[in-house]
Chains A and B, each alone.
Chain A
Amino acid sequence: DVKVTQSSRYLVKRTGEKVFLECVQDMDHENMFWYRQDPGLGLRLIYFSYDVKMKEKGDIPEGYSVSREKKERFSLILESASTNQTSMYLCASTAAGGHNQPQHFGDGTRLSIL
């Protein structure tokens, strides 16, 4: 069965800290995604990666960066956390090829920036 694992369910950090959110998938998927989910705004794409060391900006990349050193792991980095980055962060992965490859999501990390 497909498994996407996010390292933390809940995380509390302080303004200005560098924050790392980790995501691991065990399906050998090429594509991985980071979203943030806020009430009334749905899921918004921050960054995605279609291969190791490859990354593309999503719709709201400002204040974030990513790292994909290994195929199974995709990290989201908040360079200097701010209170407006308090949110639910969701990682997803999908296989390459075809038009209908469902995205498989992790359980999310609820991040609070104080």
Chain B
Amino acid sequence: GQSLEQPSEVTAVEGAIVQINCTYQTSGFYGLSWYQQHDGGAPTFLSYNALDGLEETGRFSSFLSRSDSYGYLLLQELQMKDSASYFCAVRGNTGFQKLVFGTGTRLLVSP
């Protein structure tokens, strides 16, 4: 089977940096994705890591270590609008772009 663990909630202040960790157990691995979901909204794709290392997209970066079955999402220069839930998701060894999602981390950004 496949399972992912991430913290249930993280709090931070505007302008700060926050890291959301994700550890996974899968029977196969093609990549780790991150999605953002605001309350009442649809999940939206943020990033994807297939290889070890850091991927940077503006204020957001995502890191993967395949040997440790671990990744994280790094959010810099936090803004109030970053308050949302963040989900990591793994593509295992099945096809059809099927993902297994973590339970989500709720990020609360305060002034």
Chain A residues near B44 (CB, 8 Å)? 105
Q: How many residues of B contact A (CB 8 A)?
A: 24
> Within 8 Å of chain B (Cβ to Cβ): is A25?
no
User: Is A34 close to B, CB under 8 A?
Assistant: no
Chain B residues with CB below 8 A from A48, complex form: 96, 98
Interface contact tally, CB-CB below 8 A: 59
Whether A102 lies near B30 (C-beta < 8 A) is: no
Q: Contacting chain B: which of A13-21, A38-46, A67-75, A78-86?
A: A38-46
A103 contacts B by Cβ under 8 Å: yes
Q: Chain B contacts of A104 at CB under 8 A?
A: 45
User: CB distance A103 to B97 under 8 Å?
Assistant: yes
Whether the Cβ atoms of B91 and A99 lie closer than 8 Å is: yes
Among B41, B97, B102, B104, find the residue whose CB has the most chain A CB atoms closer than 10 A: B97
- Closest A residue by C-beta to B45: A102
Is B103 in contact with A45, judged by CB distance below 8 angstroms? no
The contact string, 1 if C-beta is below 8 Å from chain B, for chain A 95-106, is 110011111111
For A45, list chain B residues within 8 Å (CB).
Answer: 98-100
Q: How large is the interface on A (under 10, 10 to 19, 20 to 34, 35 or more residues)?
A: 20 to 34
Known contacts: A40-B8, A99-B30, A105-B42. The answer to whether A31 contacts B96 by CB under 8 A is yes
What are 26 A-B pairs with beta-carbon distances under 8 A? A4-B42, A35-B101, A40-B8, A42-B103, A42-B104, A48-B96, A48-B98, A50-B95, A50-B96, A92-B43, A94-B97, A96-B97, A99-B30, A99-B31, A99-B50, A99-B91, A100-B48, A100-B50, A101-B97, A102-B45, A103-B43, A103-B45, A103-B97, A103-B99, A105-B42, A107-B42
Q: Give the B-binding residues of A (Cβ under 8 A).
A: 4, 31, 33, 35, 40-45, 48, 50, 56, 58-59, 90, 92, 94-96, 99-108
